[in-house]
Structure 1
């Protein structure tokens, strides 16, 4: 009896794993991009990063980035729902001014449709306008 239950459970797990990720239906024009607008955006950023990235961050880490470089953080919304974010910083490094993309997240149903590209483009544009000569990042998937 126990063996049969284990086999059934494994079969359900395989079925759940094999289920393809649902894609969100939307038009590009429906995505609204906004720059970090203050404390009310912080929980949205934290929730996305905690869900999708491999490293857990403390609230102090988030505040470090968004308080010192708020102009480099952007969020993407679809019909009022936050679906993506990018968080960056910039500073001097070996006699150059360097930008750094610290966090980039787009939730799974919205991936592959250019949202991350647009978030990064907006951040890099702001870094370049601020005098950055290069931009770096480090990626880790969950």
Structure 2
């Protein structure tokens, strides 16, 4: 589970959504995987402090998606009180380009 990019020569043509393993943030060893995905795919650079802010305060709201041991996606979120209710916020959502459009970022609870 070390690699953050698709393996060279690996075809995603036979990829199935059920082949994805979703893992809750498990500690410092997952942080480089999240950072690499975000740095490669998003245009806004983040400092190590930004990543740690989210994953240390809301580790239960950060997840990684693996395909055959390769980290292909991540979502990093937070939740806070706002006007006497709780509101969630997605800080980072990344799926590597070869794996997009296959439902990795969809919530299983989504009505869509």
**Shared fold per TM-score greater than 0.5:** yes
Aligned position for 1:58: 47
Structure whose alpha-carbon radius of gyration is higher: 1
Distance in 1 of aligned mates of 2:17 and 2:100: 12
Q: What's the Cα RMSD here?
A: 1.9
Q: Which has the higher helix share?
A: 1
Post-superposition offset of 1:60: 0.5
Post-superposition offset of 1:103: 0.4
Structure 2 stretches lacking a partner, 5+ long: 1-10
4+ residue runs over 2 A deviation: none
Matches within 5 A, 1:53-132: 53-118=42-107
With normalisation by structure 1, the TM-score equals 0.66
With normalisation by structure 2, the TM-score equals 0.83
Aligned position for 1:24: 12
The count of aligned residue pairs is: 100
